[in-house]
Structure 1
Amino acid sequence: GVAISTYAKYCYNKLQKAALTGAKKGLKKPNIEEIRHAKNAVFNPSMFGSSLQDIVNMQKERYPDRQLPWVQTRLSEEVLALNGDQTEGIFRVPGDIDEVNALKLQVDQWKIPTGLEDPHVPASLLKLWYRELEEPLIPHDFYEQCITHYENPEAAVAVVHSLPRINKMVLCYLIRFLQVFVQPANVAVTKMDVNNLAMVMAPNCLRCQSDDPRIIFENTRKEMSFLRVLIQHLDTSFMEGVL
């Protein structure tokens, strides 16, 4: 048997996350596979909504040499494989919610299905993965530094290098990935310049903990500026070939 407290703790955590991020169920009722997956999730934690360290621990047996989360790199690669860098509105246009949920189910079983056609689907799931991390990619302890140095490239880069190692690696991979999309030849097609990319990605990296609408509004601008500065100024060449 399983201790009731195990289920209680799991359900409590799920409710807390739902309260923060809202439900994303789409229009379809859950199918048998989704229900089975939900039942097993108590014992097989999802890669979505977990901490970075937990995600890395989950993949240790399968991928002992990986420094980065498999889910992050595979979804990023899939976006590029489907020519996301030549797709208008990439990261702004949402993928079909039911397709995104179906892909999420597959990814949680360490699979990327063949036959994906729409880059907006893995792009949406990738954004969701960042957004649902248990603690934001840039941890709360560093938030004030980020919004203080949102216009100072040198200081902003220094914040990145002061992050815990796993956060730094994951963030630098993301920035290197986004730097592909800001190449002028890509922007001409995607219509997603550095400002647009920073706008859609900042909420997935930084989380304002204030409840004051004025502070949230003011900080949103600073969060976007901070991410824009990183895309423009962070040297990510050391991430070449890192997985």
Structure 2
Amino acid sequence: MAVTKEMDANATIPYIVPLLCEKVKEFNGFHTEGIFRKSASSADLRKLRNKLRMKNFTFEEQNVHIFANCLKTWLRSLEDPLIPELYYDFCVEMAKQGKLDKGQFEVFFSQLPAVNRETLKYLVHFLRELIQPQYVKTTLMTLDNLAIVFGPTLLRSEILDPNTALMNTHSEKKFICFIFFLFYYLLVLSYKTITHFLPKVINTKKKRARTLFYEITERKIKTRQKCFDQKKLCDGIAGSQT
């Protein structure tokens, strides 16, 4: 993650994520209609964020929507998303195929930075619990609804034009759903196992998945460099005219 990890010395997940998730559960978020969808007061949200920055964990807040919105705000505030922007095109491409490809998913999962990977696993585990039928009948937050809410938060690209971004919205949501479907499959994959097959390439399908991943991410890097070069050129022209 590009922002400070805000972690204890021995932690593998930024402390703010489990803290806010536990507060959502503590204040009955699993029995609250529209949890993660309904907004909270901006003043209350700002107050809570200031407390967290100061490591002040004495909370007077009782409104569960404040904690839920704070979690979403923190995820959105990451300079690079939990699913790094570099991998955006690969994730969208997987979703557009319209089927679950475990080989491609293993490659994607293995390439995530360790902190991102562990944080994503924690968050998905928490949200999978939230979409159990006994809670959905009250919260009305189905898998589709959660994917709509968290899709742009977890998976985003800053270099897309507005039309492309709009067209990709469905694929972003579908990819988030893929993560939920494959969650327990990913849990049984140890990082050691994943890194073992990557260099050796166990079968053709995984080899194709790995090749596709590197082709798409390489293309993404070139696109980002092109945008950066264009921005430098525009800045240079603007500077010469002042």
Residue in 2 that maps onto 1:183 = 132
Question: Could you tell me whether the CA contact under 8 Å between 1:157 and 1:234 is conserved in 2?
Answer: no
Amino acid at match of 2:77: E
- State the aligned residue count: 184
Partner of 1:224: 173
Counterpart in 1 of 2:109? 160
Q: Which amino acid aligns with 1:160?
A: F
Contact preservation (8 Å) 1:100, 1:124: yes
- Which amino acid in the other structure matches residue 79 of structure 1? V
> Which of 109-118 and 154-163 deviates more?
154-163
Aligned residue for 1:215? Answer: 164
8 A contact 1:103–1:112 mirrored in 2: no
Residue 211 of structure 1 and its aligned partner are, at CA, apart by 4.0
How far the C-alpha of 1:185 sits from its partner, in A, is 0.6
1:97-176, aligned counterparts within 5 Å?
A: 97-150=42-95, 151-153=98-100, 154=102, 155-156=104-105, 158-176=107-125
Structure 1 position 67 matched with structure 2 position 17: no
Identity %: 29
CA RMSD of aligned residues (A): 1.9
Q: Deviations over 1:58-97 (max 9, x none)?
A: x3xxx22111101111111111111111110000001111
Instruction: Select the structure of larger CA radius of gyration.
Output: 2
Moved more, 169-178 or 184-193: 169-178
Query: TM-score by structure 1 length?
Result: 0.70
1:51 and 1:134 in contact (8 A); partners too: yes
Q: 1:114/1:210 Cα in 2 relative to 1: closer, same or farther (>3 Å)?
A: closer
Higher relative contact order (CA 8 A, sep 6+): 2
Report if aligned partners of 1:208, 1:219 keep a CA contact under 8 Å in 2. Answer: no
Matching of residue 95 in structure 1 with residue 40 in structure 2: yes
Specify every segment of 5 or more residues in structure 1 that has no aligned partner in the other structure, as ranges: 1-49, 239-243
Q: Where is the helix percentage greater, Structure 1 or Structure 2?
A: 2
- For 1:216 and 1:160, locate their aligned partners in 2 and report how far apart those are by CA, in whole Å: 23
